[in-house]
Amino acid sequence: MAFETLVAAFDTKEHATAAVNALKAGGFHSDDISIFDHSRLSVGKDVVGVAPKHAGLWQWLFGSDLNLYEAKVYGTTIDDGGTVVSVRVPRDQVAQASGILDLHYPIDIHDRAVTSGIAPAAHVEAAVKEIAATAPLAKVQSVAVTPKLAQVHSDTLRLAEEQLQVGKKLVETGRTRVRRFTTERDVAQDVTLHEEHAEVLRKAISQPAELKDIDWADSELEAVETKEQALVSKTARVVEEVSLKKKGDDHVETIHEKLRRQEAEIQQVDATGKPIRRA
C-alpha cells in the first residue's frame, strides 16, 4: 500500500491541537501523526541544534522534493509561535485527511510565501502546477466526516442573549434656593401732639387806684409757648426663621427594554442543496 505524508502549518497551537484530535477521531493512528513546534525543535529535543528556519531540516523530515519556499514558511511559522502537523496516510485517504486538516484553518503555504516575500509569485505558481501534474490524487477518495469527528470539531456557533440589569444613579432634577433681601414699605401711625400758646387777657378795672399805688416803671410779662413734635425711632426684632432640609420619598418605576437573543436554525440539505424535510 502506498502512503503519502500531508503537512499543514497552523498559526495557533489551538488550531493545530484541534486538527490532530480530529485526525485521530477520523480513524488516523496517532503513530502516523507528528507535531512540530518551537519546543520540540529546540536544542536538546528530537532535532538537536537545528534552527526551524533551516530548509534542510524540513527536507530531511518531509523529503528532498520539498520546495525551498515551503520549508521557509514552515520555519517562519514555528518562529512566530505556530505549529506544523504532518500525517502519514494511505493514498486512498489523502482527500479525507486533507479535508479534516482544512477544517481547522491551516496556513495557505503558497499564499503565505508570496505575501511574506519569501518567494516571487511566478515561482510559487510554477511549483504548484508542477506538483499538480506529478502527484495526482488516487481516484477512490473518501471525504465524509464521521460522527465522532463532528463531536470533537472545534468550530461552534456561540449563541448569546442579553440580560437586563437595572442600576441607579443620582442625577440633579432641580434646586430650591432661599435668598434673604431687604425691602421697604410705607407705614402711617397717628400720634397726638400737645401745643401751648400764650393768650393775652384783658379786663377793665372800675376802682381807680390811689396815685401812690401806681408803678410807673417799665415792665413786661412773658409766657413760653411750647408744642410737641413727633420723634421717630425704629427698633428691629426677629419675626421669622427660614431654613432648608431635604425630605426623601421612594416610588416604583417600571423599566421597559428590549433584550436581544440569538437563536439557531438547523436546516439539512441533500447533495443538490435542497432542504430535507423530516417526517
pTM: 0.45
Question: How many DSSP H helices and E strands does the chain contain?
Answer: 7, 5
Residue of 30, 131, 16, 155 whose CA lies nearest to 77: 16
**151 — phi, psi (to 5°)?**
-70, -35
Residue 139 has pLDDT above 70, yes or no: no
Identity of residue 183: T
Residue 47 has pLDDT above 50, yes or no: no
pLDDT value at residue 116: 82
* Least confident piece of the model among 52-61, 82-91, 157-166, 248-257: 52-61
Residue 151 has pLDDT above 80, yes or no: no
Residue 135 has pLDDT above 60, yes or no: no
Beta carbons of 69 and 59 less than 8 angstroms apart: no
What is the Cα–Cα distance from 27 to 30, expressed in whole angstroms? Answer: 9
Residue 109 has pLDDT above 80, yes or no: yes
What is the Cα–Cα distance from 9 to 77, expressed in whole angstroms? Answer: 7
Kindly provide the residue ranges of all beta strands, DSSP E only, lying in the chain, ordered along the sequence: 3-10, 33-36, 83-90, 195-196, 226-227
